[in-house]
Every structure is written in C-alpha cells, then in structure tokens.
Amino acid sequence: MAFSLAERIEERQGDQYALHRQYLNASLARVQAIIGFDKTYTRGEGAYLWDAAGNRYLDLLSGYSVFNLGRGHPVVRRVIQEMLAMERPNLVKMDCPLLAGLLAEALVKRMPPGLDAVFFANSGADAVDTALKFARAATGRPRVLYLDHAFHGLTLSTLSINGGPQFREGFEPLMPGFDEVEMDDLAGLERELYPGDVAAFVVEPIQGKGVYIPADGYLPEAQRLCRAHGTLFVCDEVQAGLGRTGKFLSSEHWSLEPDIVTLSKSLGGGYVPVSATITRRAIHDKMFSRLERCQVHSTTFGQNELAMAAGLATLHVLDEEQLIERAATIGQKLMAGLAALQERYHVIADVRGKGLMIAIEFRPPRSLALRAAWTAAEAAQKGLFAQLVVMALMRDHRILTQVGGPGVNIIKLLPPLIIGEQEVETTVAAFDAVLAEATRIRGRVWGLSGQLIKHALSQ
Ligand SMILES: Cc1ncc(COP(=O)(O)O)c(C=O)c1O
C-alpha cells in the first residue's frame, strides 16, 4: 500500500497531545493543556494559523523568530520545490557544494567589515558552539564570559553561557571558567578580562529572554575592552538577527564590529533548520590550521542543499519585500500603540524593544484588592500575571504570545516581519481589552488564576 501523508494525518488528527504525552515531552503537553494552548492547528499562512474548526489565530510568536517572512512564504516554497525537482546531488561531502559558496558570499556581503568566512551548521546552539570553538582555537585561551539573562541554547556548552539559573539547575557542573558578568557593568567586565585568559565575550545585543537592551554606550565600550585585552567579541544574532529589530543585525544599532556573528532561526525561511557562524578569515583558519585538521570541526548536515537554497531565497525575500525597513516602521507603530496603553494601565511597567522584538513588562497593580490577587498569584509562581495575560489573549482573542522567560512578568512579541497596520490594531486592541479585565478584581482574567495557582502549588 502506498504511503500517503495526507491520509495518515486525516486518520490520526486529534491524537497529537496523547501521542506527545506518551512518547515525547509529557510535561510540555500538560502545560499546553493547562494554559489553553492545546489546539489542533491545520494550516499556517503568513502571520496566521488556522485550527481544525476553521478559527484563525494571529501568531505573535513566529516559532521563536523562525517565521520572519511569515509562514509558507511562496518564494521560499517555490525555491525548495525547484530544488527537489532538480535532483541535485546533496551532501556528497567530499566536494565543495556551489550553494554553500553562494550563501556564504551573500551573507558576507551583509556583514560588518572584516567578517568574511562562514561555517554552516543546523541550529542556533550549533552556531554558538562553533563560535566558542573558533574563539578557543584562535586565542588559545580557556575562558568565556557571558551576560546575566543570556540565552544561547541548551546544549552543554551553550548552557555554560546561559544566564538563567532555571535552565542550568540539574545539569551542573558546566564548563569551568565560563563566567557571568552583569549587563552595563564595564568595570566588572574589565576585571574579568584583565588576567588575559578570556577567549570570548558572548552577547546578544538585544537579549531574547526578557528583551533586555543594554545602556547605549555599553556594547561599543565592551567591544573596545575586548580588543584591548585580546578577547574575541561575539554577537549572537540567532534571534535578533535577519531583520527582526529593523536592521539586518541587531548589533548595527550600535555600529558594532564583532569578531564573530551567529545566525540561525529564520535563515531557513521557516522550512529548513540552518545556522551560520561568520568570522574573520584569520580566526576561521586558526581552527582549520593544517590540511590534516581540515575536518576538525564539522557537522553531517551542514551545507545541505535544502538549507542553502532556503537561505538564498530568504535573503532575496528580505531585500525584495524590504522587510527590514518594514520591521522598523511597523515595530515603531506597535510600540507606540502599546506605550499608549502604558499611560492608561499602571500595571504596565515598561514597553521596550527594537523593530519587531518587543517586551511588555508588568508590575503589581496600584489597587489594594488587585494587589492581593497579584501577590497570591506571584507567591504560587513567579511571572504568573504575565501568564494570565498570555492565556486571556489566546482564549478571548486567538492571539499567540509567550511569557518572556522563566519567572518574569514579561510578555514577548516576535511577530513575523510581514505584519501590517491591521495586525498592529488587533494586537493593541486585544491587550487593551485583556488589561481592562485584568485591572478589575472580578475580571475574567483573574478567573484563570485559580486553576494555574492550583497546578503551580501541586508541583
Ligand atoms: C540568541 C539565541 N542564541 C541561540 C539560541 C539557540 O538556538 P537553537 O534553539 O536553534 O539551538 C537561541 C534560541 O532561542 C537564541 O535565542
């Protein structure tokens, strides 16, 4: 009998949460049920998802920034189909594939001066791990510095530069000499750099967890200090790169000239996993320093044809549709709409971000009665208020958002860069309605909290 994917899906639609509870991450499947995210999506296009009943959802998560071009972009899809039809020889390995060369060339053109050598891998963590190996090979030094709140992936090496204790717990000891420094503390950074044993300082110019943005002078001065102490300055652009913040790289907001840049997520156009680590030729060649070391760092699926084709198509669409400029202008409108809500709702402490990477941070309400509800919720689980808002946005407005990190009262928005005025209006109106409910003690938003508190306390 011929295998039909469509038939297989048709037969088993609706089994997915049970399958995940049985064979995959049961805890995650349970959390999705608790917060009302256990939907059966059947279609995705642009900024929207549809469920089996035909309901439409606005996706402000973008698969954690994988869908900068929106879902199912026709150009990327066509290029992938073209690629499959060509039956090109993929992953020969003992050759130098053309498409990898073309994508490397296209990426180098978009980099700050001097970054002219590329390594392709499959995920963000892969790209950062490669950056760490480049830095050690090039400097001969052991140590690495990273920032509080940093997130660079969850493999053991990237966990070693993770600034969130919740992620590290249970996996220690991590890499010795990989140490945290505080954002905006230049004196502290210089103290760590001074002994001359630090290979790299790794930063997300705009942090993914919480959307924390350093004070204006911090990153340029940190880069200068790194240069002065022979430490490589690494910008992890896995989430904030590729136009998300209104620039091709978020480091361009400060005209930085990093020694190494990492990219991933939307580089595959929302279809194919791919990542790139881009550095100076001199650094690159320190890793592949002799002919017999030409494969000292590699990964089986790096440079695969599908990923390279998707990457080329993605860069083309970013330019053709001027999505980077669009992220800047639409992002400003969205931030302005949310900032106007901040004037009306005391519970919004801050609206911050750049382009379409935006955080809304909450603080305890002013009214005593509401404050008691907030305190009870926070005592059960930190960041629960933000979770309630996320749940209400989904339940009442069919909008997908996320809490901006473990234990924080921050909602993070990462819409596709293709959204327009309509989506901005819908989003601002939905936040308005949910916060109006959340700032009334009998508001429907608080109705969700009992259930969440019960689950939090039973853990
Ligand atoms: C800045 C940054 N670096 C690295 C990673 C890790 O990427 P991946 O999940 O593809 O390993 C992420 C993932 O969210 C990220 O945001």
Residue 47 has, within 13 A of its CA and on its CB side, a CA count of: 21
Pocket lining: 153 vs ligand 1, CB cutoff 6 Å:
yes
> What CATH number does residue 117 fall under?
3.40.640.10
Each residue's pLDDT tens digit, 321-339: 999 999 999 999 999 999 9
Q: In this structure, what token pair is assigned to residue 63?
A: 């698969």
The CA–CA distances, whole Å, from 412 to 230, 362, 386, 403, 459 equal: 35, 12, 10, 6, 25
Residue 444 clears pLDDT 90, i.e. is over it: no
Q: Is position 377 within any domain?
A: yes
What is the Å distance from ligand 1's center to 74 Cα?
A: 26
Are residues 280 and 328 located together in one domain of the fold? no
Query: Domain of 368?
Result: 40-69+323-457
Q: Is the CB of 64 under 6 A from ligand 1?
A: yes
355 dihedral zone (left: phi>0; alpha: psi -120 to 50; beta) = left
Strand order in the sheet with 56-59: 41-45, 48-51, 56-59, 399-400
Question: Does residue 17 fall inside a structural domain?
Answer: no
**The domain boundary residue, chosen from 270, 300, 320:** 320
pLDDT tens-digit series, residues 56-88: 999 999 999 999 999 999 999 999 999 999 999
Question: 265 and 65 in contact (C-beta within 8 Å)?
Answer: yes
66 lines ligand 1 (CB under 6 A): no
Ligand 1, atom 13, lies closest to the CA of 153
pLDDT exceeds 80 at position 455: no
**pLDDT for the residue numbered 457:** 58
**β-pair type (178-181, 143-147):** parallel
First to last CA, the chain: 47
Query: What's the pLDDT tens digit per position in 114-172?
Result: 999 999 999 999 999 999 999 999 999 999 999 999 999 999 999 999 999 999 999 99
Say yes or no: CB of residue 57 within 6 Å of ligand 1.
Answer: no
pLDDT in tens, 167-199: 999 999 999 999 999 999 999 999 999 999 999
Which ligand 1 atom is the nearest neighbour of the CA of 209? 16
Ligand 1 neighbour 236 (Cβ under 6 A)? yes
Same domain, 65 and 99: no
Domain for residue 32, yes or no? Answer: no
Q: Are 344 and 316 part of one and the same domain?
A: no
Atom of ligand 1 nearest to the CA of 127: 4
- Which pLDDT score, from 0 to 100, does residue 452 have? 73
Any ligand 1 atom below 6 A from CB of 400: no
Ligand 1 atom 3: residue of nearest CA: 152
- What is the model's pLDDT at position 126? 98
Q: What is the per-residue DSSP string for 278-309? A: EE-HHHHHHHT-SGGGTTSS--TTTT-HHHHH
What ligand 1 atom has the least distance to the C-alpha of 204?
1
- What pLDDT, in 10s, does the model give residues 31-46? 999 999 999 999 999 9
- Using the predicted structure, report yes or no on whether residue 350 has a pLDDT greater than 70: yes
The tally of domains found in the chain comes to 2
Cα 143 to Cα 133, 231, 299, distances in angstroms:
11, 10, 24
Rounded percentage of the chain residues whose pLDDT exceeds 70:
99
Per-residue pLDDT, 45: 98
Around 196, how many Cα atoms within 13 Å sit in the side-chain half-sphere?
A: 1
pTM of the predicted structure, to 2 decimals: 0.97
- Which of ligand 1's atoms lies nearest the C-alpha of 240? 1
The pLDDT mean for the chain works out to 96
Amino acid at 82: E
